[in-house]
Structure 1
Amino acid sequence: MECITWFVPILSGKLEAWRAFVEEINGPRKDDFAQSRQRLGASREVIGLVQSPEGDFAALFHEGDSISAGFSKLAASEEPFDVWFKDKILELHGVTKEMLAQGPSSQVVLDYRA
């Protein structure tokens, strides 16, 4: 099992649209989101909001069998939910399909478990 934590900026002026996106994932698209994550091999995903003087950021934690394979699958997916999701993260974060295929440029440096 792998895990990764990373941050992605919420583009200027997009905070309310981002909040609506998260509400949609937690609400009417919750089952679609869960099915997508199952297809991608994800076992856990946590999204947080970090507000700083430098701007607003989404703090993301992903856990699954293979993080890089999951990102590659999402980048290539033509499933309707995944296409909608990719369109939204491009609009809200500026994350492209090519960036997804490469995975986040983040590295785990400490992973404490009790």
Structure 2
Amino acid sequence: MPMIVMAQPIPPEKYEKWRDAISSFGGSRSEEYTAARTRQGVSRQGVFVHHTPEGPVEIMVMESDDPGRTLGLIATSQEPFDVEFREFLMDVFGLDLSRSPSAPLPEQLLDWTAPSRVPGP
């Protein structure tokens, strides 16, 4: 399954807001989040925080048949949750999904999967 990984620095003054939102997507807002990601063709998503000397960084991993199309759907959906999600991205990261990206999507250089394990004798 194709995947995309993106990293965004989290402004320190927005960290608690970011953390609360991510927690809600897996908790109190999980039904809305699941419905949105299902509509957008996402089969798996993980969000990590990496604490660096420069501050926290969000690392997002998303599996989808077509990550570029999925990001386009997130950027254009008029569903209330998706509109609010875009506002969240703009507020925390200054990321405006309605504009064409200033750089290409991340380039995947390696996609390794463990070979099937056959039980030994």
Question: Does the 8 Å CA contact 2:10/2:92 hold for their aligned counterparts?
Answer: yes
Shift of 1:84: 0.9
Checking the alignment, whether the CA contact within 8 Å between 1:6 and 1:104 is kept in structure 2 is: no
**CA separation of 1:104/1:17 partners in 2, compared to 1, >3 Å: closer, same or farther?**
farther
Gaps of 5+ in 2: 115-121
Q: How does 1:1-114 map to 2 (within 5 A)?
A: 1-99=1-99, 102=101, 105-114=105-114
Structure 1 vs Structure 2: percent identity of aligned residues? 29
Q: Which has the larger radius of gyration?
A: 2
Q: Which amino acid aligns with 2:93?
A: H
CA distance in structure 1 between the aligned counterparts of 2:111 and 2:2, rounded to whole angstroms: 10
CA shift digits 1:59-110 (9 cap, x unpaired): 01010110000000111111000011111111111111235x5496311111
Report the alpha carbon displacement of residue 35 of structure 1 after superposing the two structures with TM.
Answer: 0.6
State how far apart, in whole Å, the 1-side matches of 2:19 and 2:86 are. Answer: 16
1: CA distance between counterparts of 2:91 and 2:24? 15
TM-score by length of 2: 0.86
Whole-angstrom CA distance in 2 between matches of 1:22 and 1:104: 25
Contact 1:5 1:59 in 2 (8 A): yes
Structure 1 or 2: more helix by fraction: 1
**1 or 2 for the larger relative contact order (CA 8 Å, sep ≥6)?**
1
Aligned residue pairs: how many? 113
| RMSD between aligned residues | 1.6
Q: If the length of structure 1 is used for normalisation, what is the TM-score?
A: 0.91
**Which blocks of at least 5 consecutive residues in structure 1 are unaligned?**
none
